[in-house]
Chains A and B, each alone.
Chain A
Amino acid sequence: MLTAPDIALAPLLPILLVLAGAISSTVLGFHLPRRTLTYINLALLVLSGIAMGLLWSGPGEVPATAFGGGLQADNAAILLGLTIVVGSVMTLLVSLDTAYRARVSFPEFDAMLMYAITGTLLIAFSGDLIVMLIGLEVMSLASYVLATLQDSRRAEESGLKYFLLGSAGSAILIYGLALVYGATGSLSYAGIAEATAGLTPGNLGLLVGGALLLLAGFGFKVALAPFHQWTPDVYSGAPTSVSLFLSTVVKVAAFAGMLRVFGGALQNAPFWASALQILIAATLIIGNAASLFQTNFKRMLAYSAVAHTGFVAMTLLGTPGLGGAALGYYLLIYTLMTAAALAIVAALQRTEAGMEINDLRGLYYRHPGYAIALAVCLASLAGLPPFAGFFGKYLAFQAAFQNGYVWLSILAVLASVAALVYYLRPAMLMFMPDRTPAREYAHGQRPATNLTVALGVAGITVLGLLPNLWYGWVADPAIWELLAGR
């Protein structure tokens, strides 16, 4: 006998709104100019954010689910989803001003972007491994196209690199997923978590193998060393607005997936934490050391994104209550500061290759607003108070430290010192007087980009002074202990 599938539209609404944007961009692209589509998409993203807010479940309420728990709109999903929306809105705003210069100003760009966002939301809302995988693939395929969309050699190279390594990553991930299914007999997070509690030794090997393959697959997606090789080339080769998207929204989604899988489903599985610890140590060392030697500012930001992956991943080592809260806070801050910094690069660069660090000399005397904003972003990225990056780093250290990873915390401290050195150089160069002619794109200041930058800078300043505005929401450990569902 057939039973009707459990379809509830309410928890799907945020995703459907974004999907509607993607489809309308595809279809209406023949009739409407791209800017109009972008405005429609911005509105839909805001609506999607509001829809998520309405799904928020207060204490005692049961989160809405659909497809028998395959999709769950619990508070963790909403918090990560809101972060994704913020990053996406910032991407779209920047693309309003820079897409034309970057030669990606056609409706397909918007469509691909919205498809990718649909995928990222699916990951955040996923309740089992298949939904997560579908989201990941939708996101990845759209991102491959986005990276290649610009008609240039560098974009082609970066897109191809991204595609080849990304598919290898996906393949490994799927294989790991199969092994986990083999070991536990379940695909839903809740089922896996239940099965891992009492496992026979025969299945244990399978589970460990699967978990490690999953770790490697996610390692590709979030750019954990040694799976980070594609990141600098892709981030610096793609148009800057795409780099912005890839280094914020896509990374947030990949971390959301990692949190769901490792913090929820595989919480009781052995060994992956020790492996992750080694990957984080390698990421911290390689990412920070490589950033030190970059001469191109955009490339340096790409490597710094790798370095930040290391800091963010430390939160996964904490207990779910503490680590999840830290991750939820860090990802929003990371999105705000990275997006604002790349928005400034997008506004000021002469070509899509970004600018050299030395070209920033004296920026304060030419574009005081951008210089101060960029300095704030860099200070926040370096983790200096009173900006929000400090609390992000603090929470990450705390999560790892309190769960017994003392040596990793000390390594992270040393890595932060290296990070300060490479963030400091451009930040201080901007304030040094300079008499050579300007090296920026002359017509760089545009309202939408300025709005993005203002949003980012205001966000990291306010959340740095009053972290409770966001941390108060994410801090409830109950949110993160339910990651695998009930």
Chain B
Amino acid sequence: MIHLMIFLPLLGALLLLVTPRTWREEVAGFVAALTLGLGLWLWRDGGAALYSAPWVPALGATYSVELAGPSLALALITALMTLVAVIYAARRIENPGTMLALVLAMESALLGIFAARDLVLFYVFFEAALLPSLLMLAIYGGPGRMRALVKFAAYTLLGSLLMLLSIIGVRYYGGSPTFALRDLVANPVEGTAQTWLYLGFLAAMAVKLPLWPLHAWLPDFHEQNHPSGVPDVMGTLYKVGGYGLFAFALPLFPDASLELRPILMALAAFTALYGAWIAFRQTNWKRLLAYAGLSHMGIVGLGIFSLNETATVGALYLLAFQNVYTGALFLGVGMLQERIGSVDTRVGGVMTQAGALSGLTMALWFASIAVPGLAGFIGEFSVLLGAYQVAPWLAFIAGLSTIAAAAYALTAFQTTFWQGRPLGSVRVADLRQTEWLVLGIPLAVALLFGVYSAPALNLIQPAVRGVLSALGGS
């Protein structure tokens, strides 16, 4: 079942290449829905247990996968948002075959990342996710995409190759028989070697998270992507850095995590505030959302680096649901662009003609700026609460970013959706057909898990306890 869930989207992507043009949307939608269904089934069964088989025995690489706890939560969100993206892409993009195939291929890689319990396998999925996202940018990107592409790829690969050296080192210095996480944890690396290896691992995760100063690829990546926002949805799902830190870095490098905690927390807090500050000055919706995402990821980082249970639970909660509402906001920007032909934040007066679009966008922004009752609040609040117990001042600095978030979100919303509609501008159509679903489903999810957080917390909390108790942490 778990293997089917990981590889079904990839099979679907290959199938799309041979599907007649008229049926591609339906096939893609069916595959995406089926994947989500499989995920929900796994959830009902309490997750998929660890499955391990030798892959390259001579090398010690195994095919170990497991979907339980936070990884199941993230996989479910990935499947949900892929389905939403497919629904939107099918209507919005002309001749969407290639895009849909890439979206599905990306989904496979992401599910693989969350399921992998072997470092080499994790690395393979980690890098495999790079290819579809690069192709989406290359085929559908804006005029400045070459620069964005090179920047994105160079940052990502620099980080992940350093991680590769760390992976080699972790097994070599620890003396583990295989690269399976279980064996590696049983054969830990001690002393300064651990710190160096942690830094190598961190390089990859900090680029993906992204953490200041390794974030520079992010705004260009989003700005140059296709205006529909579909690649951005997959891009926001790409923020696997936080997950990788939690699932691999903490268990493998416990002493180093403790040792570097103050520095990393400070970096994360600074990232949160810095992202919010820059977002305030943006006049391009996509750049604004990119910096807003950066700010949120700073808070996620703060939670994970703090090694505190409440904060880590909050960070993973935020990581999961940030994908939902930020992804939906990217799609909302795509709808706006389709109607007014620009992604500028100073359009004015959209509310008067497209009430539903504006209203749903506003509700999603509320989720994003952590208004209580929506999913973002639970995550951010828990992170700040937990981080405060570890480093009050840093929690305070990061907390300022939530105030800044309200400022940048509401300012941009006001200049686009309220104010006066310029004279002679085109009439803006309201939401049509499937667009209701595209914005409605994510909002419903954000609302549901903002009010009733128990199902998600039940998934996340035991795993966090397990990891942190092995650490002997607070």
Contacts and interface: CB of A to CB of B under 8 A. Distances in A.
Nearest to B155: A417
B131 A379 contact: yes
B4 interface: no
A428 B162 contact: no
A432 B145 CA distance: 10
Contact of A475 (B58, B127, B139): B58
B172 A384 contact: no
A447 interface: no
Contacts of B162: 410, 413
A409 interface: yes
Size category of the A interface is 35 or more
A364 B59 CA distance: 36
Interface string B161-190: 110110011001000000000000000000
A428 to B, nearest CB: 4
A401 B164 CA distance: 11
Interface string B108-141: 0000000000001001100110110011011100
Contact of B172 (A390, A402, A414, A429): A402
Given A390-B127, A410-B165, A432-B139, A417 B157 contact: yes
Contact of B128 (A385, A467, A468): A385
A472 interface: yes
A391 B167 CA distance: 13
Interface string B52-64: 0001111100000
Contacts, number: 90
A401 B165 contact: yes
Nearest to B152: A424
B124 A468 contact: no
B58 A471 contact: yes
- The interface residues of chain A, by DSSP majority, are classed as helix
A476 B59 CA distance: 11
A159 to B, nearest CB: 37
Given A428-B134, A467-B56, A397 B168 contact: yes
Given A432-B139, A468-B58, A471-B58, A420 B154 contact: yes
Contact of A431 (B58, B128, B139, B150): B139
A433 B168 CA distance: 40
Contacts of A402: 168, 172
Interface in A404-439: 409-410, 413-414, 416-417, 420-421, 424-425, 428-429, 431-433
B135 A431 contact: yes
B451 interface: no
Contacts of B134: 424, 428
A421 B153 contact: yes
A394 interface: yes
B168 A413 contact: no
Contacts of B137: 428
A428 B149 contact: yes
A251 B205 CA distance: 37
B127 A424 contact: no
Contacts of A379: 131
B124 A385 contact: yes
A69 interface: no
B123 A385 contact: yes
A472 B57 contact: yes
A364 B137 CA distance: 15
B106 to A, nearest CB: 13
Which of B130, B131, B135 has the largest count of A CB atoms less than 10 A from its CB? Answer: B131
Contact of B130 (A384, A391, A410, A417): A384
B400 interface: no
Interface of A: 325, 364, 379, 384-386, 390-391, 394-395, 397-398, 401-402, 409-410, 413-414, 416-417, 420-421, 424-425, 428-429, 431-433, 467-468, 471-472, 475-476
Interface of B: 55-59, 120, 123-124, 127-128, 130-131, 134-135, 137-139, 145-146, 149-150, 153-154, 157-158, 161-162, 164-165, 168-169, 172
19 contacts: A364-B139, A385-B128, A386-B124, A394-B168, A397-B164, A397-B168, A398-B168, A410-B162, A413-B162, A414-B158, A417-B158, A424-B153, A428-B134, A428-B145, A429-B146, A432-B139, A467-B56, A468-B57, A471-B59
Given A467-B59, A471-B59, 18 more contacts: A384-B130, A384-B131, A394-B168, A401-B168, A413-B164, A413-B165, A414-B158, A416-B157, A416-B161, A417-B154, A420-B154, A428-B137, A428-B146, A431-B138, A432-B139, A468-B56, A471-B58, A475-B58
